Amino acid sequence: MLERIRLWVKQRRAGALGSHDPAHLSTPKLAGDQKLSECRLIVLDLETTGFHPGKDHVIAIGAVAITGKVIHLDDQFDLILRRPELDISETVLIHGIGPEALTQGHETEDALLHLLEWMDGDPILAYHSAFDQRFLEKALRQSLGYSQNHTWIDVAELLPAIFPDAKTGGRGLDNWADFFNLEVSERHHAAADALVTAELTLIALNKAQKNGACTLSELSTKLHYYRRLQRMHRF
Amino acid sequence: MMFLREHAPFSSMDDAHLAHFAEHASLRFYADNDIVLSPEEGPVQRFYVVKQGRIRGERHNEKDGKTDTTFEITQGECFPLAALVGERPTRTLHRAAGDTFCLSIEHDAFVTLLSESDPFRDFCLRGVSSLLDQVNRRIQSGAMASIGSSTSLDTPLERYALRNPIVCSPDLPVRKAVARMHENNVGSIVITDDERHPVGIFTLRDLRTMVAEEKGSLDTPVGQVMTKRPICLTSHADAFEAAMLMAEYHFAHLCVVDEEHRLIGVVSERDLFSLQRVDLVNLARTIGTATHLRTLVSLRSEVSRLVDAMLAHGADSGQVVKIITTLNDVTVRRVLELNIKKNDPGVPFTWLTFGSEGRQEQTLLTDQDNGILFETPDGMTEDQAREKLLPFAETVNRELAECGFTLCKGNIMASNPKLCLSGREWDDWFIRFIDASTPQNLVYSSIFLDMRAVFGPNEPLEELYGKVLARIQKNALFQKMLAGNAMNRRPPLTMFRNFRYAPDGKKHTIDLKRQGLAPFVETVRVFALANGVEEANTLERMDRLVAKGAFDPKDANAWKEAYSLIQAIRMRAHQEMLDRGEPLSNYIDPDDLNPLDRRILRESFRQAQRLQQKLEVTYQL
C-alpha cells in the first residue's frame, strides 16, 4: 500500500501523464518509402469551440493508429482538454461536450505532450485535414512552443482520388460513410469520427495498393496528380 | 462496443471479459473477393467477428472441379470456431463478399477469454448449433415468463415421478378396487394379467359413470366395467406424445410400459401438467363431447389461450401446429357428428381436408379447404347420393365458419358439387388434373395434392391416393411442371442477402407464409410426390425422403430446422397480434425482430434457397 502511494506521489511530481520530455520527441517523418502494408499512420479528429483558428480553441482530440493496414483498438487516443474559461456555446450543439465534461479534461500541456509522444512523428490523416492541421499546430505552438511540421494527408482528398467514380451525393464524411455503409456510433464525438475516418482510410489503402501504390510517397504522388487534375477541370 | 453487445456470445458475457476483447481487438478491412483466411496459412492464429459485410466459405469440389459456397457469415457472427479450437488450419477458404470489416483478436487473447468466460467458452465449443438453441430458448422463455415453469414437453416419461402403480386383477370387485385407490390416494387403477401386461384401466370417472348410469353393483368384477386396452407408451416417449395421445382419445391416464409391454407406471394428465395450467386433454374432451354448436364456438378462444401456454411450456413450433391441428380435427369431427345425429344423409362418406389442414400445418389463421369422398349405396346413382350429401355439407361448412374456420374464397369446400365425389369420380378428377396440367391446376396442386381424411373410413382415401401417386411417379412432365411452379415462390432474400420485401403488403414487410414457408412446402411436395411419399406433412415428408435416400440427412435436418424456425417466428407474431387485438396476418417487419432472430430468419431463407437449388438441379430448370 505504502509502496503504491510512493509511486503515485512520484508520478504526480513528474507530471500527470508520466514524464514527457519535449527534447526526446521523435522528428516528424516524411512521406517516403514506408510501405503501406507496414507503416504506422495516425488518423485524427479534433473538436473545437468554433471554426476560426484565430479565436477558437481545441477542446477534444480523438485519434486512432493504423499499423500495417490494421486498426489496433488498443492504440487509440481520446482526450478532452481542460479549458473551463472558454465560451463554447457556439459549437456545443454539434459535438455535445458541455462545460462539465470540459473541466474534467486533462491539462492542455500534458495532453498535447502525450499526443506528440503517442504520434511518434508518424504521418497524420484527417478528414478536411487543413482544418485540423491549423488548429493543432496553433495549439502546439502556443502551449508547448512546438513548431515542427508533421506530414498531413487529407482523407477528403484521398477518397475521391482513389474512388473517382463513387457517387456519394456529397463530399462530407457522412456521405462517404453512407456510401460504404459504415456505422458511426456517435457522430461529432472526436474518437468516433476518427474511427470512421480510419475505416475509410483502410478501404482507400486496400484499393490504392491494388492500383499499384505501395509506399507513402507513391500515395502522395497520386494525390498530387489528383490535385493537378482537379485544378485543370476548374479552368 | 455497443455493436458486440447485440450479438452472441458477447451479449451474455461479463463487462470485464468484453473489455478484454475490445482492448485486444484490431479492425481489418477486406474488399470484395479478398481472401480473409485460407487453408494454406497453417494453423489459425486469430478469432474474427464480422463487424460489417459478409464472409463466404468456399470449398473446392473434387468431383466437378467447381467451387461451392459452403456457408455465409454475416454481421455479428464469429469464425473460424472449429479450426481455432482444434488448433489446425481452416479447411475452407474464407473470402470477403462485398466490403467487409472484421474485428479480431490474437490466439493468446482468445485462449484467455476461452478459459475465463463461461458464455464465450460454451459458444465456441458448441459452435453454430448453440445459436439455434438460443433462439428456441428465447421463444420459450418469452411466453414462459407468465407461467413460471421450466418443465419441457420433451422430457421423457421416465422422468415423471412414476409411482409404483396401483394394480389389480380383473376379477377383483369394484368395491375393493376403489378401496385400494382410496388407500393410496390415486384416481386410477390398472388391471393387469399374470405377466403384468396392462389389460384395462379403471378411473374415478368410470366409477362416477357406473353409479350414475346404474351399470352394475359395486360387487361387479372390475374387469367388466374397466376401459379395455388402455393407451400405452414406452418410457422413452416424451411428455408431448403422451399429451397428444390423451388429447386424441380423451383419456386422462395412460400406462407406461417397458419393451416387453409390462407395466412400469401410470402417467396422468395432472402429472404432465400439474404445475402448468395447460388443459389440452380437457379442452379436447370438452370439444369432443359438446352437444351444441354454440359451445363449440365459445371453445375456440380457449384454443388460442392454449397455444400461448403450449409455447410457454417449450413445445416447438412443430408440436404446436400439431396441437392446433388436433384440436381443429376434434372440432370438425364434432360438428360432423352433431349434424349426422340431427340429419343423417344416409350415405357413407370420408371427410377430406386439403392444403395446410391436410398437411397438419394449421396455425390460428386458417381457411376451410375440404371435400367429400363418398361410397355410392346400392340402388342409388352417384348424382342421387350427391344430392343427399350436398345440403348436409352446406350446413357443416356454415357451422365450421361459425367456429372460426373462414369460408374458402375459392369455394374449395365439400358443399361444392365438384368436390363431393365418389371414389371413381375422384379418380377421374385426378386423371384430368394430372394430364391437363394447366397453370390453374398447378396453382391448385398445393391444395389437392396435400390431403388427409379427418372423419369416416380412411381406406377409400388410401386407395385413391395410391393411384394418384403412381400416376405422378410415372409422369415426368407433370413433375417438371410442378417443379417449375414451385420455383415461383422465391425466398425473400436479395442477391446481397438482404431481405426482399413483399410486393403486396405494407412497406418493409415480409410475408412469412407465402415468402418464407411456401418455398419449403412447395419444393418438398415435388420431391415427395416424385418419390412416392404418402405423408402430407412437410416435416414428415422430409423424414421419409431421407429414409428413401432422396435427401441427405444433414441437409434435411438443416431444412427442417429452418422451416420450423420460420414457423415459430410466425406463430409468435400471431400470438402478439391476438394480444393486441389486431387481426391476424402473416406479414412482419424484420426490423421489429431482435438481431439474433433476424439472423436466424436470414439463414433460414438461405436454406430455402439451397433446397430450391436442389430442385433446379434435379429437374434441370
Q: Tens digit of pLDDT for each residue in B319-332?
A: 777 778 888 888 89
Interchain pair B99, A74: CB under 8 A: no
Q: Which residue, B456, B469, B474, is CA-closest to B420?
A: B456
CA distances in angstroms from A72 to A123, B28, B30, B329, listed in the order given: 17, 9, 16, 62
| Distance, CA of A217 to CA of B578 (rounded, Å) | 66
Q: Taking CA atoms, what residue in B is nearest to A201? A: B29
Nearest-neighbour CA in chain B from A47: distance (Å): 22
Interchain pair B29, A207: CB under 8 A: no
Query: Distance between alpha carbon A49 and the CA centroid of its chain, in Å?
Result: 17
The pLDDT of residue A104 is 54
What tens digit of pLDDT does each residue of B446-473 get? 788 899 999 999 999 999 999 999 999 9
Nearest-neighbour CA in chain A from B98: distance (Å): 10
Kindly state the cell numbers that stand for A149: 511540421
The pLDDT of residue A18 is 43
Kindly state the cell numbers that stand for B30: 477486406
For testing contact with chain A, the best of B2, B24, B26, B36 (most A CBs within 10 A): B26
Contact B4, B21 (CB under 8 A): yes
For testing contact with chain A, the best of B27, B32, B48 (most A CBs within 10 A): B27
- Which stretch of B14-18, B396-400, B499-503, B510-514 has the lowest confidence by average pLDDT? B499-503
Nearest-neighbour CA in chain A from B511: distance (Å): 26
Partners of B525 in beta bridges: none
Dmax (CA) for chain A in angstroms is 72
SS (H, E, C) B17-78: HHHHHHHHCEEEEECCCCEEECHHHCCCCEEEEEEEEEEEEEEECCCCCCEEEEEEECCCCE
| Distance, CA of B439 to CA of B443 (rounded, Å) | 6
Residue B604's pLDDT band (boundaries 50, 70, 90)? confident
Nearest-neighbour CA in chain A from B101: distance (Å): 8
Contact B498, B606 (CB under 8 A): no
- Which stretch of A215-219, B50-54, B546-550, B572-576 has the lowest confidence by average pLDDT? B572-576
Residues of each domain in chain B carrying CATH 2.60.120.10: 2-126
The CATH label, of 3.40.50.800, 2.60.120.10, 2.40.100.10, 3.40.50.300, for the domain at B2-126 is: 2.60.120.10
Q: Which residue has the higher pLDDT, B241 or B553?
A: B553
Nearest-neighbour CA in chain A from B105: distance (Å): 10
Residue by residue, pLDDT tens for chain A (235 residues) are 555 555 555 555 544 444 445 566 778 888 778 888 889 999 999 988 888 888 888 888 889 999 989 998 888 888 777 555 555 544 444 444 555 555 555 567 777 888 888 899 999 999 999 999 999 999 888 888 888 889 999 999 999 999 988 888 888 888 898 888 887 766 667 888 899 999 999 999 999 988 888 898 888 888 888 888 887 766 5
Contact B55, B70 (CB under 8 A): no
The reply to whether B302 touches chain A by the CB within 8 Å rule is no
Interchain pair A199, B27: CB under 8 A: yes
Q: What residue has cell string 474512388?
A: A163
Q: Taking CA atoms, what residue in B is nearest to A183? A: B52
CA distances in angstroms from B246 to A188, A191, B223, B231, B439, listed in the order given: 64, 64, 22, 8, 43
CA distances in angstroms from A114 to A17, A41, A106, A191, A193, listed in the order given: 7, 17, 10, 16, 20
Is this complex scored with an ipTM above 0.90? no
The pLDDT of residue B148 is 30
Kindly state the cell numbers that stand for A199: 475505416
Please report the sign of the dihedral spanned by the C-alpha atoms of residue A30, residue A36, residue A40, residue A45.
positive
CA distances in angstroms from B71 to A51, B57, B97, B594, listed in the order given: 50, 5, 12, 22
Highest mean pLDDT among B151-160, B246-255, B610-619: B610-619
Residue B114's pLDDT band (boundaries 50, 70, 90)? confident
Architecture (CATH level 2) of domain B157-274: Roll (3.10)
Architecture (CATH level 2) of domain B480-619: Up-down Bundle (1.20)
The pLDDT of residue B143 is 38
For testing contact with chain B, the best of A70, A73, A186, A201 (most B CBs within 10 A): A73
The pLDDT of residue A132 is 92
Q: Give residues 75 to 104 of A whose Cβ lies within 8 Å of B.
A: none
Chain B CB contacts of A207 below 8 Å: 31
What tens digit of pLDDT does each residue of B126-169 get? 544 444 444 444 444 443 333 333 345 556 676 665 557 888 99
Kindly state the cell numbers that stand for B390: 350436398
The structural domains of chain A, with segments of one domain joined by +, span: 32-234
Interchain pair A69, B29: CB under 8 A: yes
Q: B112 pLDDT exceeds 60?
A: yes
What tens digit of pLDDT does each residue of B272-306 get? 654 344 466 667 777 777 788 877 877 777 777 77
Chain B CB contacts of A208 below 8 Å: none
Architecture (CATH level 2) of domain B281-474: 2-Layer Sandwich (3.30)
The pLDDT of residue B602 is 83
Which of A181, A198, A206 is closest, CB to CB, to B52? A181
The reply to whether B108 touches chain A by the CB within 8 Å rule is no
What tens digit of pLDDT does each residue of B183-204 get? 877 788 999 998 889 999 998 8
Residue B124's pLDDT band (boundaries 50, 70, 90)? confident
Interchain pair A183, B52: CB under 8 A: yes
Q: B350 pLDDT exceeds 70?
A: yes
Chain A CB contacts of B5 below 8 Å: none
Kindly state the cell numbers that stand for B302: 380457449
- Which stretch of B230-239, B258-267, B396-405, B593-602 has the lowest confidence by average pLDDT? B593-602
The reply to whether B250 touches chain A by the CB within 8 Å rule is no
Residue B493's pLDDT band (boundaries 50, 70, 90)? confident
Which superfamily does CATH assign the domain made up of A32-234 to? Ribonuclease H-like superfamily/Ribonuclease H (3.30.420.10)
DSSP B407: P
The pLDDT of residue A93 is 46
The pLDDT of residue A16 is 43
| Distance, CA of A149 to CA of A162 (rounded, Å) | 26
Examine residue B80 and say whether the peptide bond preceding it is cis (omega within 30 degrees of 0). yes
Average confidence score pLDDT of chain B: 81
Kindly state the cell numbers that stand for A183: 456505422
DSSP B505: S
Q: B508 pLDDT exceeds 70?
A: yes
DSSP B274: S
The reply to whether A73 touches chain B by the CB within 8 Å rule is yes
The reply to whether B6 touches chain A by the CB within 8 Å rule is no
Q: Which residue, B46, B59, B121, is CA-closest to B92?
A: B59
CA distances in angstroms from B168 to B190, B193, B257, listed in the order given: 7, 9, 16
Kindly state the cell numbers that stand for B461: 382415401
Percent of chain B with pLDDT over 90: 26
| Distance, CA of B51 to CA of A196 (rounded, Å) | 13
Burial (CB count within 10 angstroms: exposed 0-12, middle 13-18, buried 19+), residue B167 = middle
Q: What angle do CA B393, B396, B398 make, to 5 degrees?
A: 110
